[in-house]
A = this chain, B = another copy of it.
Amino acid sequence: MNTSVQELTKKDFIPEGDVKWCPGCGDYSILSSVQTVLPTLGIPKEDFVFISGIGCSSRFPYYMATYGFHTIHGRAATVASGVKMTNPKLSVWMVTGDGDGLSIGGNHTMHIIRRNMDVKILLFNNRIYGLTKGQYSPTSEKGKVTKTSLMGTIERPINPMSFALASGATFVARTTAANPKHMQEVLRAAADHKGTAFVEILQNCNIFNDGAFAKYLNKETKDTENLFLETGKPLLYNNDTMGIKLEGGTNPRLVSVENSGDSSEFLVHDPHAEDSIMPYLIGQLGVDQEGLPTAMGVLRAVVKPSYDELLHEQEAESIAKRGSGDIKKLIYSGELWTVGAGDPVNMDA
């Protein structure tokens, strides 16, 4: 029952009962990676809590042998916040989808990030509504034809990275379900971050949006489409033959150029920078700026106090200053008077 932290293995996180995603769904690989990473974190199994909204992705908690809550559509962030504020020692993970977390739930996503609540957010981005069988989502590419956009969508997708950064995210990363090794590194980094960790996981829905991320996998294109981020390293890709730099001094733009060998000209990745300008830039590569590769990895990781931390600090301070709760004091305060045999007497007197 109660395995010690050291002995925890992947098996401890696999519940009985079958997993009901479509065969071939990218969600399976994410599940397996999470179950692989958790036992390595040195956290007791009973301290993990997985909270989700509604969607295929949000079925996740049922497939984890941890505490879990499959809540309602778009609202997982609120429940996760309540859990964390009540018991900060828990390791709280939120699982959501591009519809759950960015369509109906976009506002809560913004606010939990802004507050830097110590919750790990895994956003499964398959650029489609899976559970409702294939309508476009806020991350679907413009012009996409779906059951509700027969002539193609007419709205521009949101970039989850930009959204999270503008919301003040202290940790932002992108990875893909098709690359378990990279995904597990990112998951570990997220787990180690104190504060909100926002992770976009590109996930293939092979039933309603198959091949959405093929370009990151195809032999022919993957080298030119992926840019793997490494702290302190220049932004190089295509086996270091290409790199990204900022051009045009007073009116800078991102451009990709051949790597002459001297890589000093290229932008260097610094996820720890105080401001979010470079991460914002890098997050747009490929996604908003055609012809450039897409950044994979940790875009930003800075340390700021988390909301739950500050909340409990204020509580401790208040107790230190005013002493802890006391029913009698609570009720018998304000302007009191007693009515007895004689006249009423003002108690403050």
Partner of A158, one of B116, B167, B254: B167
Known interface pairs A106-B106, A138-B111, A167-B163; A266-B246 also in contact (CB < 8 Å)? no
Select the residue from A116, A246, A264, A304 with max chain B CB neighbours within 10 A: A246
- Residues of chain B within 8 A (CB-CB) of A267 are 250-252
Check: A110 CB closer than 8 A to any chain B CB: yes
- Residues of chain B within 8 A (CB-CB) of A284 are 275, 277
**Mask: chain A, 78-119; 1 = CB below 8 Å from B; 0 = not:** 000000000000000000000000011111001100111000
| Count of this chain's copies in the oligomeric assembly | 2
- Residues of chain B within 8 A (CB-CB) of A106 are 106-107, 110-111
Give the contacts of A130-154 with B (CB-CB under 8 A).
138, 151, 154
A250 close to B268 (CB less than 8 A): yes
Select the residue from A155, A159, A281, A304 with max chain B CB neighbours within 10 A: A155
Partner of A317, one of B151, B166, B270, B317: B151
Stretch at the interface among A14-22, A173-181, A216-224, A306-314: A306-314
B280 close to A280 (CB less than 8 A): yes
Select the residue from A156, A165, A311 with max chain B CB neighbours within 10 A: A156
User: What's the tally of chain A residues with a CB closer than 8 Å to chain B?
Assistant: 56
Bound form: Cα–Cα A111–B105 in Å: 11
Known interface pairs A106-B110, A155-B307, A158-B167; A253-B234 also in contact (CB < 8 Å)? no
User: Taking CB as reference atom, which chain B residue is nearest A252?
Assistant: B246
New contact pairs (13) apart from A110-B110, A114-B158, CB-CB < 8 Å: A104-B107, A115-B154, A151-B318, A154-B311, A154-B314, A155-B307, A166-B166, A234-B250, A250-B266, A251-B273, A253-B277, A275-B284, A277-B281
Can you sample 20 A-B contacts with CB below 8 Å?
Answer: A103-B111, A106-B106, A106-B111, A107-B107, A114-B155, A114-B158, A115-B154, A151-B314, A154-B311, A156-B168, A156-B304, A158-B166, A162-B166, A163-B167, A165-B166, A234-B250, A245-B250, A250-B267, A252-B278, A253-B275
